[in-house]
Structure 1
Amino acid sequence: MKIHPLITKTEDLAALCGRLAKSDFVAVDTEFMRENTYWPELCLVQIANTEEAAAVDPLADGLDMTPLFDLLTANEDVLKVFHAGGQDVEIIFNFTGRTPHPIFDTQIAMMAISQSEQIGYSNLVESWQGVTIDKGARFTDWSRRPLTERQIEYAIGDVTYLSKIFPKILKRLMKTGRGEWLDQEMEKLADPENYRNDPTEAWKRIKAPGRNPQVLGRLKAISEWRELEAQGKNIPRGRIARDETLADIASHPPRQQADLAKVRGLSQGWKDNEIGRRLMAAIAKAEPMPDDELPPRAPRGAPLGKEGALVADLLKLLLKIRAREIDVAARLLARSDELEMLAAGVRKNLAMLQGWRYDVFGRDALDLVEGKLAFAVENGKLKMTHVDDAKPQAPESPLPQSSVVDAED
């Protein structure tokens, strides 16, 4: 495979993208920094097919990234392959307003051909290539220039290995016939709605118990305020105020700005500074949340209670057994909260009761909660038995009563 020098000129990038556009797929990875900023800072993009690989420096003076972004987001003929690509896709969306498509994520794919829930890239390479990756450059400052040869070599390695591993994973998927299982998962990854940053929706990320319209209305208002403050300053939202602090303010709103000094998580300065005044203004403008915006009520039948919790535990056991039987990650079949909802009596809008998940797991899960499936031990192994299929058989010669030995004897 040909490894190009670090690309810093638009004409070199355009030429590379022109060649890659003729490929069936490209492996993509990014290096970025976001510890001190609201918006992740894109520092490097690595890309490869089966013949060549390169790292692109988006911080290079005068470099126009349009050829690369067009290849990733506008060319539907080339499959874009990532590993755990959620943050990579987010960054590309922030720059272009579009997401890479079509897309393939090897971490998600591994869930369909193994019991790996979230296999890391290093483990992926070791298991498929037998290579141990040098992690020395993993936590480097990718924004500093110039980049060292070791940094660039490490970064490009992420896509050179990925371009070799992807065809093997694809072949395994085709052999197992589970490729269609992943279509929906990949489309979710590429859905632009997952990456739109709407400040009015920021409150949904904060854990706030209850459905009180006044409390949630304040939470929505001050969450939007924090989001806009963080965006304007380009600093992490937690630097403005922590989630727990916002939830506390929403539940126990200060009556005047001086009371902000008493709020856990805020400094004394908030009692008379400008940001404190803006926070108080956001609280004052907050309105009760309309009924159609309130979070859904807990599913009917929840909380589960002791018996329901036991049923949920049985469902989790069933899930573990089925995942092991077919060598697939349990999380791909069902989530724990779905199992609890099923145990509580919910039957609608559960992914595991739809499509291939129903055929592979959901049907048996339903049978279990409806008393049609039982667990048994056979030859030291736990197995499932459908009650309808388990026909009692009379013994050939019943033992006389005197032959029955009491357990206490």
Structure 2
Amino acid sequence: MNIDIKLHKNDLPDDLDLSNALGNSISIDGEFMGLDVRRDPLCLLQISTGNMDAHIVQLDRKTYHAPNLSKILSNNDIKKIFHYGRADLAHIKYYLKLDIKNILDTKIASRLARSYSDNHSLKTLIKEFCNVDVSKQFQSSDFGGELSSAQLKYCANDVIYLHKIHNDLETILKRENRIDLYEKCLNFLNTRVELDLANFKDDIWSH
């Protein structure tokens, strides 16, 4: 299986054409130095059109100036597919100062659709829906410096399967009459990110 992986420094190139994106959607994932937004900076953002491609942007952590990437992320006509977008969206909002709209999320979809399982990791979803057993060896590695080919492949794996996974999960959600609930959860996602950035980490609905 050939994956077209391209590493870009600071920003996407001016001439990048994403018109072949499946369903007018891109999949997105970020890599950070950790999960504390203020302490652990956003290092990479990778996107895919769903055509076995991965464009990995190694951001300028001094300025986070990436106008081409920001333009795509800010385009409300393009659907953006995340897996556990809560963490990615918080880092994007904090470092790139962007509020992302038209969001889809395979982890939320999985939790609602796959009530037959308690495992909703991306690795599990790739195995179930794509029949590919990916390695997560480099999930906890240093993305702040020079990147190895193995790290780049790991980053690519985090986005290239999301289109198919989301399509298959959406089919289940519609069949089980849970699609409206999924859409309502997506509408709340940016509010959940705002709560995270305001340090309300616990479930505010709990007793």
Does TM, normalized by the shorter one, top 0.5?
Answer: yes
Aligned amino acid, residue 109 of structure 2: A
| Change over 3 Å in CA distance of 1:60–1:38 after alignment to 2 | closer
Q: 1:7 matched to which residue of 2?
A: 8
Q: 1:186 matched to which residue of 2?
A: 186
Aligned amino acid, residue 127 of structure 2: E
Any residues of structure 2 matched to 1:9-408 within 5 Å, and which? 10=11, 12-16=12-16, 19=19, 24-34=24-34, 38-51=38-51, 52-59=53-60, 64-72=65-73, 74-115=74-115, 116-117=117-118, 119-145=120-146, 147-191=147-191, 193-197=194-198, 337=206
Counterpart CA distance in 2 for 1:64 and 1:163 is 28
How far 1:59 moved relative to its partner?
3.6
Query: Residues 23 and 49 of structure 1 are in contact (CA less than 8 Å); yes or no, is this contact kept in structure 2?
Result: no
Query: Residues 17 and 68 of structure 1 are in contact (CA less than 8 Å); yes or no, is this contact kept in structure 2?
Result: no
Q: 1:331 matched to which residue of 2?
A: none
Name whichever structure is richer in strand by fraction: 2
Percent identity (aligned):
23
1:155 alignment partner, SS class: helix
Query: Residues 93 and 195 of structure 1 are in contact (CA less than 8 Å); yes or no, is this contact kept in structure 2?
Result: no
| Change over 3 Å in CA distance of 1:117–1:36 after alignment to 2 | closer
Counterpart CA distance in 1 for 2:29 and 2:177 is 27
| Change over 3 Å in CA distance of 1:23–1:66 after alignment to 2 | farther
Counterpart CA distance in 2 for 1:105 and 1:195 is 17
Counterpart CA distance in 2 for 1:114 and 1:3 is 31
2:9 alignment partner, SS class: coil
How far 1:85 moved relative to its partner?
1.5
Query: Residues 32 and 142 of structure 1 are in contact (CA less than 8 Å); yes or no, is this contact kept in structure 2?
Result: yes
Aligned amino acid, residue 29 of structure 2: D
How far 1:127 moved relative to its partner?
1.4
How far 1:107 moved relative to its partner?
0.9
Aligned amino acid, residue 173 of structure 1: L
Q: Provide, for residues 107-157 of structure 1, a one-character-per-residue CA deviation record: whole Å limited to 9, x for no partner.
A: 111122121456111111111122211122121111122x11111011111
Counterpart CA distance in 1 for 2:197 and 2:189 is 13
Aligned amino acid, residue 55 of structure 2: A
How far 1:36 moved relative to its partner?
8.6
What CA RMSD, in Å, does the superposition of the two structures yield over aligned residues? 3.1
How far 1:164 moved relative to its partner?
2.5
2:98 alignment partner, SS class: coil
TM-score (norm 2): 0.82
1:50 alignment partner, SS class: coil
Counterpart CA distance in 2 for 1:205 and 1:37 is 12
Unaligned runs of 5+ in 1: 207-294, 296-334, 339-409
| Change over 3 Å in CA distance of 1:181–1:151 after alignment to 2 | same
Q: Provide, for residues 170-195 of structure 1, a one-character-per-residue CA deviation record: whole Å limited to 9, x for no partner.
A: 22223333211112211111236335
Unaligned runs of 5+ in 2: none
| Greater relative contact order (Cα < 8 A, sep 6+) | 2
Counterpart CA distance in 2 for 1:158 and 1:137 is 11
Name whichever structure is richer in helix by fraction: 1
2:140 alignment partner, SS class: coil
Query: Residues 32 and 40 of structure 1 are in contact (CA less than 8 Å); yes or no, is this contact kept in structure 2?
Result: yes
TM-score (norm 1): 0.44
How far 1:14 moved relative to its partner?
3.3
1:101 alignment partner, SS class: coil
Counterpart CA distance in 2 for 1:181 and 1:29 is 24
Query: Residues 46 and 56 of structure 1 are in contact (CA less than 8 Å); yes or no, is this contact kept in structure 2?
Result: yes
| Change over 3 Å in CA distance of 1:60–1:180 after alignment to 2 | same
Query: Residues 195 and 201 of structure 2 are in contact (CA less than 8 Å); yes or no, is this contact kept in structure 1?
Result: no
